[in-house]
Amino acid sequence: MRRLASGLCGMALGVLSGGVAGPVAADVTLGGFLQQNTAFNAAGANPDGRNHKWLEERAQIKLDGTTGAWRLMAKGDVAHDHLGRGSRSELREGYVDYTESGWDVRAGRQVLTWGVGDLVFVNDVWPKDYEALFAGRPLEYLKRGTDAVKLGIYPAFASFELVLAPSFRASRVPDARRFHLFDPMPGLVDRRTVEPDQGEAGLRIYRDMAGYDVALYLYRGFQRTPSMRPDRMTAPTRMTLFHPKLAGYGASASGRAGAGVVSLELAYYDSRQDRSGTDFTVPNSQTRFLAGYQWQPWEEGSLGLQYYVEYMHDHGAYRAVLPAGMPVAKRRADTFTVRATQLFLHQTLRLSLYAAHNAGNRDRFVNPELRYAISDRVWVAVGANVFGGRRTGQFGQLARDDNVYLQTRLEF
Amino acid sequence: MKRWLLVAMAALLPFTAFALTGEEVMKKSQAAFLYPGKDFKARVVMKLIARDGQERVREMTMLRKNMGEAGGEQKYFMYFFQPADVKDMTFMTYKYPAKDDDRWLFIPAINMVKRIAAQDKRSSFVGSDFTYEDVSGRDIEDDGHAIEREEKLAGTDCFVVKSTPRAADADFGHKLTWVGKESFLPLKEEQYDRKGVPYKLFTAEETRQVKGFPTVVRRVMKNLQTGHRTEVSYLRADYDLGIEDSLFSERFLRQAPRKWVD
């Protein structure tokens, strides 16, 4: 990390702060990392015959500059993938902040996270990268940036965060060349994706209530992962991937309870495109509920338990129209998760285990990880992703995609 | 008669000055060490030094605001500069006397504010030899305190107070604290484990007057059993800066204001 206070950068930022000519005092930091990331298959080859889920070198540059009420933050990656994707660059985040005492605004590509779940998403409707999660990449790659304007308003009685995104950004689902995804119509090769041509909007309102952090969430946009619709059910020729319209209404609370922290979260997903539930290609309207508890049973250790349920509101209508041979989703899906973390060697070595189990379809996901900071600049992590369950489940379909991963990062 | 009265008063005077109990000394010490000013700010550099000399650095800005009298509620805000993998991370504590703290952590990589459990106050602060209680204070009522003796420590008159935890859940069996009679700062602390074996040694290496408040600006905590030690320097320590209540909020956890975290 190099700290610069340069007139040149000050000038660049000065332009942002209203076209001020000449050097302006600015505080600029530059940083980044070099990273190697490999995930070895542990249960057989990929659909494309390769034996890695991930094999990549990556560099990130991070620029962070502040002058007065303005801040510019940009994180850019360049990466080389050895599994056929080649060299790519990506703007991970890039935004400008303007801050006043009672309000602020952030414009550009930014990571948004809502809710209180640990790898369970109730109100977190923002884009994710599930491929990153399942291919043993560092946790930050689970989130994709949203291109949006976020307005924060902070009157005394509550805080407001309004997000307006002019264009929709989808979640990234695992690549079918690397993961054994369940496909009800594998023979159908003519596929096309239709992205929503509208934007999306979200509002989060939060405040303290009797020592609890309480939040309300409103969202209007689209399902983040695509649905599939064949052009006709008998002898289909083309499959369309699309993002059904969605509205979300939710709330969360977290705070101290007994010796630990309790988290509660509830959301209603209004499936705007199919309120009657009679279109089996569009997800039903749904209620999601999460209850979690986290505590420290002993020194340097922490345990977190979560119970999560999804409930389909028009299951009868869905069953009535579902064609024969298609996998049947249950009305109610109960999932339990556990996370155990233990720190050693002055918190430079971290052993963690995350496990999720769906009681209905026995879908399961286990992720043990050992991470060691060799020095203040270099850390390595080794871990595994183990999947199981029915062929049609979220994790069960990945049963042949178990992998062991290695992450090495040099920070500068 | 009058003369006798004077003699009696004279005899009583040093006695009253001397009549602080162990608990009162520790209360005054806590007030002098952790509560001076309305608020406080410092750039904190922690060096974690292993027995073999390997060094790791934790660097942060620490902001503290008193919400009432000494010994009462406080709010802490910390912004991390180093190491690189926790850069921009922020950490906030609402500290309450006689009940568990509230703690929040902001993880910039996923832009998430997480409430975290805080019942284990004896756990290590960012991997150092200091515990959370060493950083923000241990409830006076959690221990019984008795003045063992008075003695000079490097030329400074001190009370030596023995503190013994009332409950059996502490990691130490007892501790001796050398509290300066004038400044009431803890200048040295010897912690013993529950078998009575020397466990940790705290020393105030340098004390400076900052806005009239004597302030320990360099301190060391050494684990005598492992040989690991942590050296802490307070750079640019300052008091009474007018830190607003609103700083200690989710808004600023997510977006630490440059004004306070330089």
Q: What is the pLDDT of residue A22?
A: 45
The token duo for A267 is 């959301």
Q: How far is B102 from chain A (nearest CA, A)?
A: 7
With contact defined as beta carbons under 8 Å apart, do A290 and A263 qualify? yes
Tell me the Ramachandran region of residue A86: left when phi exceeds 0, alpha when psi lies from -120 to 50, beta otherwise.
left
The closest CB to that of B102, out of A97, A99, A211, belongs to A211
Of chain A residues 55-94, which have a CB less than 8 A from chain B?
Answer: 64, 66, 71
The token duo for A64 is 């962070």
CB < 8 Å to A347, chain B: 124, 126-127
Show the low-confidence residues of chain A (pLDDT under 70): 1-25
With contact defined as beta carbons under 8 Å apart, do A171 and A391 qualify? no
| Interface contact A379, partner B, CB < 8 A | yes
Q: What is the pLDDT of residue A9?
A: 40
- Residue in chain B lying closest to A30 (CA): B84
| Interface contact A254, partner B, CB < 8 A | yes
**CA of A371: how far to CAs of A108, A377, B52, B175, B252, in Å?**
32, 13, 22, 35, 29
What burial class does residue B11 get, using C-beta atoms within 10 Å of its C-beta: 0-12 exposed, 13-18 middle, 19+ buried?
Answer: exposed
Q: How far is B115 from chain A (nearest CA, A)?
A: 7
Q: What is the pLDDT of residue A233?
A: 82
Mean pLDDT for each consecutive 10-residue tract of chain B (262 residues)? 55 58 96 97 97 96 95 96 93 91 93 87 90 90 96 96 91 96 97 96 97 97 98 97 96 92 85
Of chain A residues 168-187, which have a CB less than 8 A from chain B?
Answer: none
Q: What is the pLDDT of residue A20?
A: 41
Beta strand B102-107 with B112-116 is: antiparallel
Q: How far is B178 from chain A (nearest CA, A)?
A: 27
Q: What is the pLDDT of residue B172?
A: 93
Give me the half-sphere count of Cα atoms (radius 13 Å) on the Cβ side of residue A301. Answer: 6
Q: How far is B110 from chain A (nearest CA, A)?
A: 5
- For residue B83, say if its preceding peptide bond is cis, omega within 30 degrees of 0: yes
**Probe site for chain A from B103, B123, B133 (most A CB atoms < 10 A):** B123
| Interface contact A256, partner B, CB < 8 A | yes
Tens of pLDDT along A361-395?
Answer: 899 999 999 999 999 999 999 999 999 999 999 99
Tens of pLDDT along B72-103?
Answer: 999 999 999 999 989 999 999 999 988 889 99
In order of their start, the domains of chain B are: 21-261 (2.50.20.10)
With contact defined as beta carbons under 8 Å apart, do A46 and A179 qualify? yes
CA distance A119 to A140: 12
The closest CB to that of B109, out of A140, A261, A263, belongs to A140
With contact defined as beta carbons under 8 Å apart, do B124 and A346 qualify? yes
With contact defined as beta carbons under 8 Å apart, do B60 and A388 qualify? no
CB < 8 Å to A113, chain B: 110-112
| Interface contact A114, partner B, CB < 8 A | no
DSSP H/E element including A132: helix A130-134
With contact defined as beta carbons under 8 Å apart, do B83 and A33 qualify? no
In order of their start, the domains of chain A are: 2-411 (2.40.160.100)
CA distance A22 to B27: 55
CB–CB contact A256 B56 (8 Å)? no
The token duo for B171 is 């990691």
| Interface contact A295, partner B, CB < 8 A | yes
> Chain A to chain B, count of Cβ pairs less than 8 Å apart?
107
CB < 8 Å to A213, chain B: 115, 250
